Structures are given as structure tokens and as C-alpha cells.
A and B are shown apart, each in its own frame.
Chain A
Amino acid sequence: MSGRRSRSRQSSGTSRISEDQVNDLITRLQQLLPELRDSRRSDKVSAARVLQDTCNYIRNLHREVDDLSERLSELLANTDTAQAALIRSLLSQ
């Protein structure tokens, strides 16, 4: 226990936080990731791996949102009737 505390104190100035709490958060994060969720051998997936995959996943999502934004902007700009058609279709369905 004292070893754990000293380790966490060494790692960075901010971590008065228990390792368990951090590990718990990382586990929750792991369950969100599509690639790590299915093969969830929780002992064997390291925290660094989870974090790395999280970063990649967020970047992927950002890129997807950017692509979708561009497509949306083209779709919105191309036809002026798009707005009317959109409203009509939303209201009718």
C-alpha cells in the first residue's frame, strides 16, 4: 500500500488520486471503445493501449464529423429547395 502511494506521488504532481480510481476509469473507457469492447480480457489490455486507442478513436470521430460537415454543407448549399424539401419530409414522416 505504501508502495502504491509512493508510486503515485512520484508519477506527477497532481496525482493524489488512487491508482484504483484511475484504473476504474480506464476500464470504463475501454468498454466504450468498439475494438476493445469485444475482446475484453481486462487483465491483458494495458492502460496505455486503451489510452492510445481512445486517442485514435477520438481522432477518427473528429475526422468523420469533418467529412460529414463538408458533405452536409455541400448538400445544403447546392439546392435552395433543399430546405423546403427537408422541412416537408420531416413534417410528413
Chain B
Amino acid sequence: MASLISDNEQPSMTINPNSTAHVRKKKRFSSSSPSSSASISTESHPRWRSEKQHRIYSAKLIQALKQVRLSSSSSVTSSPTTHTRGKAVREAADRALAVSARGRTLWSRAILANRIKLKFRKHKRPRQTVIPAMTTVVTTGTSRNKKRRVSVVRLNKKSIPTVNRKVRVLGRLVPGCKKESVPVILEEATDYIQALEMQVRAMNSLVELLSGSASAPPPI
């Protein structure tokens, strides 16, 4: 899985100082990305399906996770709760995903913008946790989304036709699309779903790798 690190778009990888810069071809690895459905339905957005994109994202993810690890291990004990650590990992993963999108999509820009804004807001007013578009990334979205969804449905039960209502709900799920028009939301959703799928695949393979190496250290 040396191709996990090397890619021809990012020559300055800290993980990979000298060695595997040679491997730049888009090979198929049986051990990497479990059945990335790169072949079948790549009509609209092939980039989230490609092996290359998978490698790029995995590399970025590993970098980000290393930074997360360092910051959490330098803080006091080994347990801030699992949830805060998990959230930090999730944020790092989302951020890496957004960066991999190269700023072409709305949701990726929203993720990156929200993180910066949230940092500032956190310093100023630590109590203020309910900012609609902001907390999409930070908090676990489900509880907050449920509250929002109920309020909208109660207000506009019959004035919005079904399709539009559902598109609004969809827009709240995709980061940064709460106030967009219908076709924009749909377009963003298609891209976002594929990106999420890739994120899941990459994190899965990373978990497998880590649990495999934790149990049995590999021969050097």
C-alpha cells in the first residue's frame, strides 16, 4: 500500500521523505480501498471514485490525524472522553475531505469556512453553541437536526409541496447548503454523497490497517 502515500499532486509530503515517490502510476491494489466502485457509474463525478483521489485523501487524512494525535496526547490525561477525541478525528477527516475537493464545491468551502469561523467564535463567546450553519461540522448533527426539522415541519406543513420540503431537509444535511436553491442543493448532494462514500472507504481501510498493525507489528 505504498501508493497510499505517494501521489503526483503533492510532492511535499512529510510522511514520505524519500522513498516511494517513484510509484506514481494508478495501479490496482487488492489490499487497498475495498472495492472502490471506480468503474461502474462514473458519469457525472468520476473524481471521487478514482484510486488516485483515494490515495490523495488517505494521505491527507493520515497527516491530519497525526496532528490530532499529537495535540491530544500533549494535553493532560489519556482521556478526554472518547466523544471529544472522536469528534476531533471526524473534524480532521471532514477537513481533509474538503481540501481534497479543491474548493470546487459549495459544501467543501462551507466546511473549511465554518472551521475557521467557529474557532473565532469559540474564543469570543463560548456559550453560544447554536449557530445553524456552523455546528454542522462540530456537533453530532443528529440531535440538532432533529430539532430544526421539527420546527420547520410544524410551521410549514402544507404550504411547501413535498419535493421542496424534502429538498430543504436535504439542504440542511449537506454542509453549507441550507439557503441554496433547489438545483444547487441537488448538485451539491450528488457530489457530497460520493465524497462521503470515499471518506468511509478510506477510513475503513485505515482502521483495518491500524488494527492489523496494532495486533501484529509488521516485519520491517
Q: Which residues of A contact B (CB under 8 A)?
A: 11-12, 14-15, 17, 21-22, 25-26, 28-29, 31-33, 37, 47-48, 51-52, 54-55, 57-59, 61-66, 68-83, 85-93
With a cutoff of 8 Å between Cβ atoms, the chain A residues found around residue B129 in the complex are none
Tell whether, in the assembled complex, residue B20 and residue A72 are in contact, meaning their CB atoms are under 8 Å apart.
no
> Cβ of A72 and Cβ of B210 under 8 Å apart?
yes
A83 to B18, CA, bound (A): 19
8 residue pairs A–B, Cβ–Cβ below 8 Å: A29-B189, A32-B194, A48-B166, A70-B85, A72-B86, A72-B89, A77-B69, A86-B62
Q: How far is the CA of A17 from the CA of B183 in the complex (A)?
A: 8
Among the interface residues B19, B160, B162, which one has the most CB atoms of the partner chain A within 10 A? B162
Measured between C-beta atoms, what is the minimum distance from B133 to chain A in Å?
A: 16
Give the complex CA separation of A60 and B130 in angstroms.
23
**How far, in Å, is B152 (CB) from chain A's closest CB?**
13
B163-176 interface bits toward A, Cβ cutoff 8 Å, 1 = contact, 0 = none: 11011011001100
Is the Cβ of B183 less than 8 Å from the Cβ of A21?
yes
Q: Is B138 an interface residue (CB 8 A)?
A: no
Task: State whether B214 touches A82 (Cβ < 8 A).
Answer: yes
Q: Report B's interface with A, CB cutoff 8 A.
A: 1-2, 4-5, 15-16, 19-20, 31, 41, 43-44, 62, 65-66, 68-69, 72-73, 78, 82-83, 85-90, 93-94, 140-142, 160-164, 166-167, 169-170, 173-174, 181-183, 186-187, 189-190, 192-194, 196-197, 199-200, 203-204, 206-207, 209-214, 217-220
Pair A32/B193 contact, Cβ less than 8 Å = yes
Cross-interface CB contact of B218 among A22, A71, A88, cutoff 8 Å: A88
CA distance A58 to B197 in the complex (A): 9
Cα(A73)–Cα(B82), bound, Å: 7
Shortest Cβ distance from B167 into A: residue: A51
The answer to whether A12 touches B209 (Cβ under 8 A) is no
Known: A48-B163, A86-B210, A90-B5. A17 touches B93 (CB 8 A): no
Residues of B with C-beta under 8 A to A83: 66, 69
Whether the Cβ atoms of A25 and B65 lie closer than 8 Å is no
User: Which of B2, B88, B193, B213 contacts A58, CB < 8 Å?
Assistant: B193
Whether the Cβ atoms of B193 and A70 lie closer than 8 Å is no
Which of A12, A14, A55, A82 contacts B170, CB < 8 Å? A55
**Does A89 contact B209, Cβ atoms closer than 8 Å?**
yes
Please provide the 8 A-B residue pairs with the shortest distance between their CB atoms, ordered closest to farther. Answer: A70-B86, A51-B166, A25-B186, A73-B85, A69-B90, A69-B89, A68-B203, A61-B196
Distance of A8 Cα from B113 Cα, bound (Å): 33
Given contacts A58-B174, A65-B203, contact A25 B183 (CB under 8 A): yes
In the complex, the answer to whether B181 meets A89 with C-beta atoms within 8 Å is: no
CB contacts (< 8 Å) of A21 on chain B: these are: 183
Asked if residues A73 and B44 are in contact (CB atoms below 8 Å), the reply is: no
The CA-CA distance from A83 to B20 in the complex, in Å, is 18
